Structure 1
Amino acid sequence: MSGAAGWQELRGGWTLLVACAVGVGLSAIALPFYAIGPLTRPIEADLGWARADIQLAILFSSGLGALTAPVTGWMIDSFGARVVALPSIIGVSLGLLIASSATTLTIFYLGFAASAILGAGTNPVLWSRVVSGSFEKARGAALGLALVGTALVALLLPSFIVVLVEYGGWRFALRGAALLPVALALPLVWLWLRTDPNNAAGGDSARNLTGLSLGEALRSYRFWVLSLSILLGYLAISGTLTNLVPALIDRGIEAQAAAAFAGAIGIAMIPGRILVGFVVDRIWAPGVATVVLLLPAAASYILRDATDPTTLLIACALLGLAAGAELDLLAFLTARYFGLAHYSKIYALAYAALATGSATAPFLFATVHDRTGSYDASFMVAAGFFAIAALLMPLLGRYPKFEQDTEGPVGGTR
């Protein structure tokens, strides 16, 4: 971040950052993802469904989120961020309300699928595009601050769900979660996500955008290295986070305490997002990413059999650092390595890798539990995935310089 100019950008755009933070936190990706963990055991007890079948719902939300991401990127460029975001926020709520009335797995999955499709415009493709296009000197910091919304949801939602379950059951809890997007995100986005009429994306003003075309990005080895690293990292983090609460309850930890440990991940996500955002404005981002991803590798190894509260808190905090940084890093690295000229389309495809991992991992982790009676093997696999994802990041190399790029490399060079 470039000193006073960066701080001035952040002060001038704080309302936009708040709108984006709430929007991404209550998106079709984040809200179902952080709700499913504390809902798993109550649904299992009520309807007798297997845990793997319950967690498979995330495949329909995050998985369809991956499929709709390229379309969302095109819609943002064509119609503007605000036009896409507002109806999508309502769509998230409608889908989860359908899921809350389910008596069969088909209806349950249909609700999560509807949330993903109708709420496609709430996913990080939109929020990161707005922020990347609206901030230049403090882009990393702005992304960290905007995307901190998912950290707040990770911190608060598990305990919120547990309280609602105890009061009125899992259906009541899911309906309570479903109301959050229209109650909180919709008014803030309506008021503060304003679009420059000369720029459909909602940022960039009159700047001449530079960067690779979608085809050029797909022919670059960097795109595939970045996508593979993000895929592995999100397989690990998604499988771990959604199954952490039931895993801890299986070890004899009470539901509220298990939710509190999950909340510790959310607490760590907040400084993780903000700190990493500020650091990558100054230091070579792939190096930062390598360190960030190695820490949760150690945490996953610890979690395979930990029961000591202090040990669990440390492990959850390390996981939170990764969960709090990877989404920001994907957005920042996409802008730095491929430019902003076709950012929405390129980011959407890279994000599809993230969403694929987020969609499949909860089901895979729960399947391992159903077959072995333990999550130990899953936590070990997660540790390996984190380590490989970390070692891939340095392969991205130096930041490129694009033709007519007068901004220069943000965050230094390798």
Structure 2
Amino acid sequence: MTSASGWQELRGGWTLLVACAVGVGLSAIALPFYAIGPLTRPIAADLGWARADIQLAILFSSGLGALTAPVTGWMIDRFGARAVALPSILGVSLGLLLASYASTLTTFYLGFAATAILGAGTNPVLWSRVVSGSFEKARGAALGLALVGTALVALLLPSFIVALEEYGGWRFALRGTALLPMLIALPLVWVWLRPDPQRRAGGTAGTGLPGATVGEALRDYRFWVLAVSILLGYLAISGTLTNLVPALIDRGIEAQAAAAFAGAVGIAMVPGRVLVGFVVDRIWAPGVAMVVLLLPALACLILRDATDPVTLIAACAILGLAAGAELDLLAFLTARYFGLAHYSKIYALAYAGLAMGSATAPFLFASLHDRTGSYGTSFEVAAIFFAIAALLMPILGRYSDTDNSDRDRAA
């Protein structure tokens, strides 16, 4: 349960949380990732490309997002979150529009690469830095509420794309998706992304704040345990979610129904993000993370063969709980173990590993399909990754004394 002062923090910063939620949901990481699944089959049918080749586009969006994350962290500390976010939102729209005109794989990949480079300032490094610096007593809850934007995109985007594709083709659907950041995120971020300068959130970070230096974090075993656990979890999540719609359609399920099942992931991501955020404010977060990551291992084994609608919805919902919690846990645990003094840079380095997992998993899982003719092996591999990621979490041990949240609550 969040304290009274925590609730006061949340009420006072709700507009900032809305701006962050919309920004991260319509970011260079989230939009391409959740769009590629429902677009895979229509593009393959139109242009004759292999599914694995189509999904390789995520390597250029998330992969380059991983490479740009440390630079983004430095830019946030140097120029402030708002100055970095606004032009980057336009960059997301421009990159996806470019991809919609592709007639070769090269130009398709260039569009996704442009999305990552031009939209680098929309990645979660920025939004989590703003929230972590603006909230103390309800930091976990605030991160869960802010990052719920990706859950809403996971819920709504597949059906949105399927509807647009059935009306005007995959290019029309991708162009409609490309307009979302410019029409929705840009005005909200312009008006409401205004961090409190007294908390130094997204401004010139580090001055007077407790925390480890980048070098100290890299020499700390906990950084690597956290990074590897999150990487494995995101390999499993990314490979599964981007291939979920085509996997279900291959079993004879209609495209709209498959998109609806995928939407169950998004539905579960919302309470997953919010509930986990509230819980980790009161319960040791690595223990919470272990439970959250073990459940989707079972879900992946169920999804390997399931066709019953009730079973599919349940498995997708369990998968959504993990997908809803991973990013929040990385942000929260980075602050708790390494503090806020150099949060943007340390989080960016850990996030780079996560993004590389997100970038490579869709191609790897689709390649397994192309080799075996089914997605069964992919779901089994995902279950193993989830299990290992869960068992790594307790190794993190007690919280560091570099973060003052507990002392603030005690006061």
Query: Where does residue 378 of structure 1 map in the other structure?
Result: 378
Q: Between 302-311 and 173-182, report the one with greater CA deviation.
A: 302-311
In 1: Cα distance, 2:126 partner to 2:35 partner: 22
Query: Where does residue 17 of structure 1 map in the other structure?
Result: 17
Superposed, 1:283-302 pairs within 5 Å as: 283-302=283-302
**Runs of 4+ with deviation above 6 angstroms:** 203-207, 409-412
Identify if the C-alpha distance between structure 1 residues 34 and 271 changes in structure 2 by more than 3 Å, giving closer, same or farther: same
Identify if the C-alpha distance between structure 1 residues 283 and 409 changes in structure 2 by more than 3 Å, giving closer, same or farther: farther
Query: Where does residue 219 of structure 2 map in the other structure?
Result: 219
Q: Is the 8 A contact 1:399 1:409 kept in 2?
A: no
Query: Where does residue 179 of structure 1 map in the other structure?
Result: 179
In 2: Cα distance, 1:253 partner to 1:102 partner: 29
Query: Where does residue 156 of structure 1 map in the other structure?
Result: 156
Letter of the 2:8 partner, please give it: Q
Identify if the C-alpha distance between structure 1 residues 144 and 97 changes in structure 2 by more than 3 Å, giving closer, same or farther: same
In 2: Cα distance, 1:122 partner to 1:384 partner: 31
In 1: Cα distance, 2:50 partner to 2:369 partner: 10
In 1: Cα distance, 2:257 partner to 2:11 partner: 38
Root-mean-square deviation over aligned CA pairs: 1.7
Identify if the C-alpha distance between structure 1 residues 247 and 232 changes in structure 2 by more than 3 Å, giving closer, same or farther: same
Q: Report how many residues are paired.
A: 410
**Structure 2: 5+ residue stretches without partners:** none
Identify if the C-alpha distance between structure 1 residues 274 and 411 changes in structure 2 by more than 3 Å, giving closer, same or farther: farther
In 1: Cα distance, 2:262 partner to 2:244 partner: 7
Query: Where does residue 61 of structure 2 map in the other structure?
Result: 61
Query: Where does residue 406 of structure 2 map in the other structure?
Result: 408
SS at 1:324 equivalent: helix
In 2: Cα distance, 1:41 partner to 1:208 partner: 52
SS at 1:136 equivalent: coil
In 2: Cα distance, 1:361 partner to 1:201 partner: 32
SS at 2:307 equivalent: coil
Letter of the 2:234 partner, please give it: Y
In 2: Cα distance, 1:140 partner to 1:204 partner: 23
Letter of the 1:97 partner, please give it: L
In 2: Cα distance, 1:157 partner to 1:215 partner: 40
Quote how far apart the aligned CAs of 1:407 are: 3.8
Letter of the 1:88 partner, please give it: S
Superposed, 1:66-145 pairs within 5 Å as: 66-145=66-145
Query: Where does residue 210 of structure 1 map in the other structure?
Result: 210
Q: Is the 8 A contact 1:301 1:383 kept in 2?
A: yes
In 2: Cα distance, 1:364 partner to 1:183 partner: 34
Identify if the C-alpha distance between structure 1 residues 206 and 72 changes in structure 2 by more than 3 Å, giving closer, same or farther: closer
Q: Is the 8 A contact 1:284 1:411 kept in 2?
A: no
In 2: Cα distance, 1:333 partner to 1:189 partner: 26
Letter of the 1:99 partner, please give it: A
In 2: Cα distance, 1:188 partner to 1:266 partner: 22
TM-score (norm 2): 0.97
In 2: Cα distance, 1:406 partner to 1:97 partner: 44
Query: Where does residue 308 of structure 1 map in the other structure?
Result: 308
Quote how far apart the aligned CAs of 1:3 are: 1.2
Q: Deviations over 1:287-334 (max 9, x none)?
A: 000000000000001111111111101100000000000000000000
Query: Where does residue 354 of structure 1 map in the other structure?
Result: 354
TM-score (norm 1): 0.96
Q: Is the 8 A contact 2:28 2:119 kept in 1?
A: yes
Quote how far apart the aligned CAs of 1:195 are: 4.2
Q: Is the 8 A contact 1:194 1:202 kept in 2?
A: no
Q: Is the 8 A contact 1:76 1:201 kept in 2?
A: no
Quote how far apart the aligned CAs of 1:208 are: 3.2
In 2: Cα distance, 1:186 partner to 1:131 partner: 18
Quote how far apart the aligned CAs of 1:194 are: 1.2
Q: Is the 8 A contact 1:198 1:205 kept in 2?
A: no
Quote how far apart the aligned CAs of 1:408 are: 2.8
Quote how far apart the aligned CAs of 1:203 are: 6.8
Query: Where does residue 318 of structure 2 map in the other structure?
Result: 318
Q: Deviations over 1:342-384 (max 9, x none)?
A: 0000000000111010000000000011111001001000000
In 1: Cα distance, 2:293 partner to 2:247 partner: 22
Letter of the 1:276 partner, please give it: V
Letter of the 2:21 partner, please give it: A
In 1: Cα distance, 2:200 partner to 2:76 partner: 7
In 2: Cα distance, 1:361 partner to 1:206 partner: 34
Q: Is the 8 A contact 2:9 2:137 kept in 1?
A: yes
Q: Is the 8 A contact 2:79 2:203 kept in 1?
A: no
Identify if the C-alpha distance between structure 1 residues 33 and 11 changes in structure 2 by more than 3 Å, giving closer, same or farther: same
Identify if the C-alpha distance between structure 1 residues 179 and 199 changes in structure 2 by more than 3 Å, giving closer, same or farther: same
In 2: Cα distance, 1:286 partner to 1:411 partner: 20
Query: Where does residue 264 of structure 1 map in the other structure?
Result: 264
Q: Deviations over 1:49-73 (max 9, x none)?
A: 0000000000000000000000000
Q: Between 207-216 and 265-274, report the one with greater CA deviation.
A: 207-216
Identify if the C-alpha distance between structure 1 residues 195 and 14 changes in structure 2 by more than 3 Å, giving closer, same or farther: closer
Query: Where does residue 251 of structure 2 map in the other structure?
Result: 251
In 2: Cα distance, 1:410 partner to 1:172 partner: 51
In 1: Cα distance, 2:341 partner to 2:282 partner: 23
Q: Between 197-206 and 354-363, report the one with greater CA deviation.
A: 197-206
Identify if the C-alpha distance between structure 1 residues 115 and 206 changes in structure 2 by more than 3 Å, giving closer, same or farther: closer
Q: Is the 8 A contact 2:131 2:139 kept in 1?
A: yes
